[in-house]
Structure 1
Amino acid sequence: MRVLVLGADGYLGWPTVMYLSEAGHEVGALDNFVRRQYDSELGVQSLTPIEPLSRRVRAWREVSGHEVPTYVVDLQDGEAVVEAVRDFRPDAIVHYAEQRAAPYSMIDRKHAVYTQVNNVVGTLNVLYAIAEVDPSIHLVKLGTMGEYGTPNVDIEEGWLELTHKGRTDRVLFPKKPGSFYHLSKVHDSHNIEFATRIWGLRATDLNQGVVYGVETEQSVRDPRLVTRLDYDDVFGTVLNRFVIQAVLGQPLTVYGGGGQTRGMLDIRDTVECIRLAVENPAEAGEFRVFNQMTESFSVAEIAKTVASAYNGPVEVDYLDNPRVELEDHYYNVVHTALPSLGLEPHLLSDTLITSLIDVVERHKDRVDLEAFRPQVDWRRHANPRQT
């Protein structure tokens, strides 16, 4: 199959390009490199040194023999999106190309508006490009488990059979997102469902949990192929922060009481989920939702897992939570679709022992301790870096 990966220079995009090409697909890579600009804006950098996309593509060709054509396109430019899709003629489009950080969207008005315009308009342009060039193209869109929030009921895979006043219908599962970023993903989901229903497009919405890890079978072949590892207060994940703090002998900083629970998965499982979705496409007119996660953990449980995996003393500090979120809540997610297609998950403890800690040890001289400090408060309306 021919697969065009949008956001191919990103944390998940680049490993996906390599994984799908290694799986026998002809892969194209599209990006506008704005993710690298966020680092410059925030004054942070990936813990792992990452090469420009052009060097990554060249290194991958040298290592694997696979050619990857590239497109420098901003999804805000609808005509350019159409031209790229028409030129590559994909059977499937994997869409990662969005501003992905909840804290970034909550910095201030400008960042909230940017996140929603960038994400929602970009996805609309992709939908129109598919409809214009070839409605049979299968859209595999990265969503987020954060669309659902933390409801006090089991979270189904996208849809819910609802009975109300004696009548029953199949409706999209109710959403209760926790940031303007997560709201943008909800809008995406609604727009995609509408396009499948009205235009007969085919789409798979992957509501993904928190991804951890940086190494895949492909990336370890050459240091030029590594993907990014974010740990700062805006784009970093709690797991990355904990591992780095443990390696440096710093206390693990838990926001609030640590009862917040989220779905998680290994980066190797992410790329496999993408492959499974691409190779088993939705039907024409179908909006299919997969909950893409393998395990769930509270923040306190993640801290305990890191402490157990690391060979050294580890302390935990509890900080005031800058986010507005429930810390003690019910969380049970149905995630059967991807395992039914053949997903065999990796476990968090294995990844920590075999990969993450080793990567951090190799690059710990690049850590900026100031980047850990939480500066984005959900209750504020202004940029804390400017006030």
Structure 2
Amino acid sequence: MRILVLGGDGYLGWPTALHLSDRGHEVAVADNYARRGYDHELGVDSLVPIEPMQVRLDAWREVSGKSIKSYYGDLVDGEFTEAMIADFRPDAVVHFAEQRAAPYSMIDRRHAVYTQQNNVIGNLNVLFAIQQVDPDIHLVKLGTMGEYGTPNIDIEEGWLEVTHNGRTDRMLYPKKAGSFYHLSKVHDSHNIEFACRAWGLRATDLNQGVVYGQETPQTARDVRLATRFDYDAIFGTVLNRFVIQAVLGHPLTVYGTGGQTRGLIDIRDTVECIRLAAENPADRGEFRVFNQMTEKFSVGEIAKIVANGYGGPIEIEYLDNPRVEQGEHYYNVRHTGLVELGLEPHLLSDTLIESLFRVADKYKERVDVAAMRPTVNWRHAANPLRADR
């Protein structure tokens, strides 16, 4: 297959491109390198050094003998987006190219507007480009489990059968997003579903849980192929933060009571989910939704897993929660679709033992301790951070 990976320079986009290339697909990547710009804006950096795109591409060609084509441009530019898709003529488009951090979207008005404009308009341009170039192209779009929020009922895979006043219908599962970033993903999902219904497009929306891990079999083949390891309070995940705090001997900082429960997935499973979705496309006119997660844990449980996995005396520090979210809640998610396609999940404890502590220890001298403290409060319309660390 010919597969175009949008956001191919990012934490997930880059290892996904390598995984697909390694499995025999003809791959191209596209990026505007905005994610590297966020680091400069915020004064932080990936724990693991990452190489420029051309160095990455050259390194992959050296170790694998395979080439990946690269495009530079912004999806908000509709003409660029259509020209790129027309040039590469993909069978599938994998769309990672969005601002992905909830805290970033909550800094202030400017960051909220940027997030929604970048994400929603870019996604719309992709939909129009596919419709114009070849409506048979399969869109594989990265969504988020955060679209659903934490409802007091089971979370289905995208759709819900509802009976009301004696009548029954199948409708998109209700959304209750927790940030302006998550809301942008909700808008994306609705726009994609409409495009499938109106234009007969085929799309798979992958509502992904929190991703952990930094290595895949492909990125481990050469240090130049490494992907990001974000740990700061804006772009880092709670698991990455806990791992680094454990390695440094610092208390693990838990927001609120730690009862917030989330779905998690190993990065090796993420790239495999993309492959499975791409190789088994949705039907024409179908808006297919998979909940892309493999396990669920509360934040408090994650802290205990990290502390036990590290093996040393680890303290837990409970901070006032800067987010607006339920501290304790019901959380039961259906996530069978990808397993039925062949996914064989990795387990969180395995990944911690195999790589996360090792990677954190190797690069611990690069840690900016202050960057791990929360600075963005959901209850404020403008935060003191204002992206000028």
TM-score (norm 2): 0.99
SS at structure 1 position matched to 2:313:
coil
What displacement does 1:92 show?
Answer: 0.1
Percent identical pairs in the alignment equals 73
Instruction: Return the alpha-carbon distance in structure 1 between the equivalents of residues 259 and 385 of structure 2.
Output: 28
Alignment match, 2:190: 190
Deviations 1:295-338 (A, max 9, x none): 00000000000011103211100000000000100000000000
Shift of 1:73: 1.2
Number of residue pairs the alignment of both structures matches? 387
Superimposed CA distance per residue, residues 40-78 of structure 1 (whole angstroms, 9 cap, x where no aligned partner): 000000000000111101100000011001000100100
Whole-angstrom distance in 2 between the partners of 1:200 and 1:319: 48
**What is aligned with 2:112?**
112
Counterparts of 1:113 and 1:153, CA distance in 2: 31
Matched, 1:385 2:385: yes
Matched, 1:335 2:335: yes
Q: Does 1:270 align with 2:260?
A: no
Provide the C-alpha distance between the structure 1 equivalents of 2:133 and 2:383, rounded to a whole number of angstroms.
Answer: 41
Partner of 1:81: 81
SS in 2 for 1:124: helix
Residue 62 of structure 2 is aligned to residue 66 of structure 1? no
1:163 alignment partner, SS class:
strand
Over the aligned positions, Cα root-mean-square deviation in angstroms equals: 0.7
Cα distance in structure 2, aligned partners of 1:170 and 1:41: 44
Structure 1 residue aligned with 2:288:
288
Which amino acid is 1:365 matched to?
E
What corresponds to 1:236 in structure 2?
Answer: 236
Q: Distance in 1 between matches of 2:209 and 2:184?
A: 16
- Any idea what SS the aligned residue of 1:76 has? coil
Q: Following the alignment from structure 1 to structure 2, what is the Cα–Cα distance between the partners of residues 232 and 307?
A: 19
Query: Which residue number in structure 2 is paired with residue 154 of structure 1?
Result: 154
After TM superposition, the runs of 4+ consecutive aligned structure 1 residues lying more than 4 A away are: none
Question: Unaligned 5+ residue runs, structure 2?
Answer: none
**Aligned-residue offset at 1:144:** 0.2
SS at match of 1:149: coil
Is structure 2 residue 56 aligned with structure 1 residue 56?
Answer: yes
The one-letter amino acid of 2:306's match is V
Residues of 2 paired with 1:283 and 1:373: CA distance?
A: 45
Structure 1's unaligned 5+ residue stretches are: none
Q: Is the 8 A contact 2:377 2:383 kept in 1?
A: no
Look up the equivalent residue of 1:236 and give its one-letter code.
G
Amino acid at match of 1:381: A
Aligned to 1:214: 214
Q: Distance in 2 between matches of 1:144 and 1:52?
A: 27
Shift of 1:122: 0.1
- CA distance in 2: counterparts of 1:8 and 1:114, whole angstroms: 20
How do residues 237-386 of structure 1 correspond to structure 2 at under 5 angstroms?
237-386=237-386
**TM-score normalised over the length of structure 1:** 0.99
Q: In the alignment, residue 51 of structure 1 is paired with which amino acid?
A: E
- Aligned AA (2:279): E
